[in-house]
Amino acid sequence: MNVISRFFRGSAGPATAAFDPGAASSARRSNGLSELTRRLRDEQGLRMLDLGSTSAQNITYFTGLGYRIHNEDLLLASRDPLLLAPGEDGKPVMDPARFISENLSYPEEFFDAVLCWDACDYLPEELVKPMVQRLHRILKPQGMLLGFFHTKDAGPDAPYHRYHIAPHEMIAFQCIAAPSHRQESSGRWPHFRLQRVFNNRHIENLFHDFSSIKFFLGRDNMREVLVVR
């Protein structure tokens, strides 16, 4: 397992990377985040799961609200070569059961909210449905999940973004340009390829086990989706 689940309660520690505002390609208010925090505003001691890259800003934002935040970088975890096993034709195939057991091994009904970001757009196909099914199980009844989905296919070289929560429910999009092979092998940011673009019907089918779903259309070829278990 090459990704460690981190639990943060308080100020960000040395494992969190500082965010350089100059690296953000854009920032805008998130209606989905606003709705999520509004619904949780009067609760204390809630557990939040962030499925994106570790962000000191995200940790500070939610610990400041009194939440306990866990972090799992699922996209980075999906690059683990140990997840590949020989298929029937001898070609390597992804092992979803191993991926789920190594990265989302939490008790059922453990979390109050999940920040999924755009993981569904970038994860290998074999992992998307098992991930959503597992998230449904580890969310509490009436727990919420916020996801971002692309509305336009920009091709395999579409830039990958990290998401950082800023004051006033703003989200800064930190663009990670497609690196060269030498950069990736030297430990810099890997390039995650945009795998698919979901339409609304696909998203509804993906979250069919959840009790409700609400769409927020953004101005940057992204739609935000807030689902309730």
- Full DSSP string of the chain: -----EEE-SS--TTSPPP-GGGEEEEEE-HHHHHHHHHHTT--S-EEEE-SS--HHHHHHHHHTT-EEEE--HHHHTT-GGGEEE-TTSSEEE-HHHHHHHH----TT-EEEEEEETHHHHS-HHHHHHHHHHHHHHEEEEEEEEEEEESS---TTPPEEEEEEEGGGEEEEEEEPPPPHHHHHTTSPPPPPP-----HHHHHHHTTTSSEEEEEE-SSSEEEEEEE-
What integer pLDDT is reported at residue 71 of this predicted model?
94
What integer pLDDT is reported at residue 167 of this predicted model?
82
CB atoms within 10 A of CB 119: 24
R_g of the chain computed on alpha carbons: 17
Instruction: Say if CB 210 and CB 229 are below 8 A apart.
Output: yes
What integer pLDDT is reported at residue 157 of this predicted model?
66
Residue closest to 224 by CA, chosen among 192, 185, 205, 198: 198
Q: Provide the residue ranges of all domains of the chain, joining segments of one domain with +.
A: 31-156+196-228
CB atoms within 10 A of CB 210: 18
Position 73, amino acid: D
What integer pLDDT is reported at residue 156 of this predicted model?
63
Angle between helices 96-103 and 125-138 (to 10 degrees): 40
Position 150, amino acid: H
Rounded Cα distance between 127 and 180, Å, is: 26
User: Token pair for residue 33?
Assistant: 């985040």
Neighbouring-strand partners of residue 26: 173
From first to last of its 229 residues, what are the pLDDT tens digits of the chain? 333 344 444 333 333 344 444 444 678 889 999 999 998 887 778 999 999 988 999 999 998 888 999 999 999 999 999 998 887 777 888 999 999 999 999 999 999 999 999 999 999 999 999 999 999 999 999 999 999 998 887 666 677 888 999 888 889 888 775 544 434 444 455 678 888 899 999 999 999 999 999 999 877 778 999 999 9
**Overall CATH class of domain 31-156+196-228:** alpha beta
What integer pLDDT is reported at residue 152 of this predicted model?
80
What integer pLDDT is reported at residue 28 of this predicted model?
85
